[in-house]
Structure 1
Amino acid sequence: MQLSKEDVLAKANLASKNTLMETLNIEMIDFGNDYLVARMPVNSRVYQPDGVLHGGATAALAESVGSFASHIFIDTEKMFVRGLEITANHLKSVTEGYIYAKATFLHKGRTTQLLDIRVTDDHDNLVSICRLSTISLPKNK
């Protein structure tokens, strides 16, 4: 049985309870065959001391959406996902509104996955470009 888009997003957001994603108010908002989109509000909770978005918060958003994207496309009864490596190039400062992270698969293997994650602001300006590699491992080993 295939879940609806709404069911998948609700399941992903429910899994974020009592985690870093809830602390940062990260919300999964859209997905398709090879992508997942999340958003995070930009406010003082995610600022650097000088009042702009912290790169670590941006990386947390990127890793969250990328890991969830890998998670959505595996058999979670048999497998689990872990991040292997993330890189982030920050290109623009943000002080308010939301940032949006769209994770798109560059490689969707049975064991390893590679995702391109583009982070944009409310005006669709590119804020950061991230790459995340994940690994799917069996639960029974």
Structure 2
Amino acid sequence: MTRNDATCLSPAPSPPERIWKQDSDLSAIAALAYGSMSAHLGIRFIEIGPNFLRASMQVDHRTRQPFGRLHGGASCVLTEEIGSMASWLCLEDPAVEAAVGIQISANHLRGKQAGQVIATARPLHLGRSTHVWDVQIEDEEYRPICISRLTLAIIRRTSTEGITEICSQT
């Protein structure tokens, strides 16, 4: 029996499905991030698609390690920030539930001394109790700098203190 390679091909990918449950745009996302660590590091949300979120970060004195290269911790902050925001956008009711990071894994592939990096978060799993995000960080020439995976627990809020103002901003 011979194998027919044509029968082993994967079906054509379907168009991206919109995964966001919160109505939000880039200005609303920026307002949510205002005053947080992302503002301190200069992280800017730059694009939202049907199933991805993209942010940029400058490589400068705020994000370099003492030896002049992009700090691995800054890449992890970028991963946590974009993945957490993406999970927030996927929550059924942010006044009742929250997404909290429980694990991050990052492989730093290339150094970067100046310029900017761009991170793209795409879901690997959007379950009832966990979300898992793949985050690709690239330079301006689309070369990989860091690949990360972020896992968040979806928990029930014990307090709604401060969340009313956040939810009303979107």
Q: So what's the TM-score if we normalise by structure 2?
A: 0.77
Deviation of the 1:2 alpha carbon:
6.7
Indicate conservation of the 8 Å contact 2:133/2:150, yes or no: yes
Percent of pairs with identical residues = 33
Rounded Cα–Cα distance in structure 2 between residues aligned with 1:23 and 1:140: 28
Residues 67-125 of structure 1: CA deviation (Å, up to 9, x unaligned): 11101111212211100100100000111111111111000112101111000011100
Aligned partner (choices 20, 24, 38) of residue 41 of structure 2: 24
Query: How do 1:28-67 and structure 2 match up within 5 A?
Result: 28-67=45-84
Q: How many residue pairs get matched?
A: 138
User: Secondary structure of 1:123's match?
Assistant: coil
Query: Which residue pairs with 2:133 in the alignment?
Result: 115
Query: How do 1:62-101 and structure 2 match up within 5 A?
Result: 62-74=79-91, 75-101=93-119
Query: Which residue pairs with 2:149 in the alignment?
Result: 131
Rounded Cα–Cα distance in structure 1 between residues aligned with 2:32 and 2:72: 24
Structure with bigger strand share is 1
In our comparison, the structure showing a higher alpha carbon Rg is 2
Q: 1:2 to 1:54 in 2, by over 3 A?
A: closer
Long gaps (5+) in structure 2: 1-20, 160-170
Rounded Cα–Cα distance in structure 1 between residues aligned with 2:155 and 2:25: 21
Indicate conservation of the 8 Å contact 2:22/2:90, yes or no: no
Two-structure CA RMSD over aligned residues (Å): 1.6
Q: So what's the TM-score if we normalise by structure 1?
A: 0.91
Indicate conservation of the 8 Å contact 2:137/2:144, yes or no: yes
